[in-house]
Amino acid sequence: MAGYVLQSPCNPSPLGTSYTLVYIEGTMDDHIGHFLNFMSVEKGASGNTVAAYKNDLQQFDSFVTGLRGNGKPRDWEQLERDLIIDYVLSLKRKNYAEATVARKVAAIKSFFQYLQAEGTIRGNPTESLESPRVGRSLPKPLSVTEVDELLEQPLKRNTPEAKRDRAMLELLYATGLRVTELVSLEMDDVNMAGSHPYVRCMGKGSKERTIPIHEQAAAAVTGYLNDGRAALVKNRKESALFVNRRGERLTRQGFWLILKQYAKEANIASSVTPHTLRHSFATHMLRGGAPLRSVQELLGHANISTTQVYTQIANEHVRQVYEKAHPRAR
């Protein structure tokens, strides 16, 4: 089925250059599908990233379709650059967070860059479109006391699920794993034998890294493997390390629900998300004197500037200690 996509500039508008459409083979859905495949296969984007792009582009697609009424197939013949700006404004009117709007704009820009590179369009209507500026907020780690209280909660139950939960929480705080990396672990990704236990994970960009595990975390994982997992697994061929009550791989959403419950039981007032223990791991490691480069490697950050944000938190902690302790700072 054929459709229309943006072509090169025509009449200027007050908001910038306007764009019309050129007829090409395939629907816009086809091109979105091709782009997502390109991101997955050629760019090595993670499943979560591809899913986010898909959602963002389909939302933009639906916005354009809705302007023509009745949800009929898109011909895109009236689409101009101004419409993309209208879409961004509509997101802001719906009170989307700045970071979310910026991500959706980035998805649209990447998509049209792809179309231009493929020769599908001659001009890129998003070329001069500025992405919303997002003030980078600092991660909010838990205190060491809060982490300790959180990790103690599963010990109040003597069930296979509680043993699993303690192993997951201990492992997250011991390694700084992303939650997706945690729930993606296979049985043979952890090595508890010998005096140097470790976990091996596949991070962003399909980059593998090996992370050492301290004794307490290793004991929690071993306890789960010995006394918890076997009671949960229904299919002995299941390779996932962490499984749910049905004996299937635990999902990110499933972990989040577990974490929220334990955070509530620990009376932690601040918001706790699946990324909170990763933030806490990085911040506490730096406060403990770990070199920035080592923390970068442990976290799997491609760029050290991503890791440097945690130094601001560590430095703020030092300042608070200084102002509390120095006699002339009080």
For 256-262, which contacts have Cβ atoms below 8 Å and span 24 or more sequence positions? 256/179, 258/165, 258/168, 259/169, 262/150, 262/153, 262/154, 262/165, 262/169
Q: Give the three-class secondary structure for 210.
A: strand
CA-to-CA distance for 221 and 171, rounded, in angstroms? 8
Q: Among this protein's residues, is 178 annotated catalytic?
A: yes
Q: CB neighbours of 238 closer than 8 A, spacing ≥ 6?
A: 247, 248, 249
Q: Among this protein's residues, is 278 annotated catalytic?
A: yes
CA atoms within 13 A of residue 188's CA, in its CB half-sphere: 3
Catalytic site residue from 104, 278, 279, 284: 278
Catalytic site residue from 34, 103, 204, 209: 204
Q: Give CA separation, 284 vs 11, 96, 138, 278, in Å.
A: 56, 32, 14, 10
Catalytic site residue from 31, 284, 287, 301: 301
Q: Among this protein's residues, is 96 annotated catalytic?
A: no
Task: Give the amino acid at 163.
Answer: K
Q: Among this protein's residues, is 275 annotated catalytic?
A: yes
CA-to-CA distance for 314 and 122, rounded, in angstroms? 49
Q: Among this protein's residues, is 200 annotated catalytic?
A: no
Q: Among this protein's residues, is 34 annotated catalytic?
A: no
Task: Give the amino acid at 272.
Answer: V
Q: Give CA separation, 118 vs 33, 133, 217, 220, in Å.
A: 14, 29, 49, 51
Catalytic site residue from 234, 275, 293, 319: 275
Catalytic site residue from 4, 19, 262, 310: 310
Catalytic site residue from 109, 163, 166, 178: 178
Catalytic annotation, residues: 178, 204, 275, 278, 301, 310
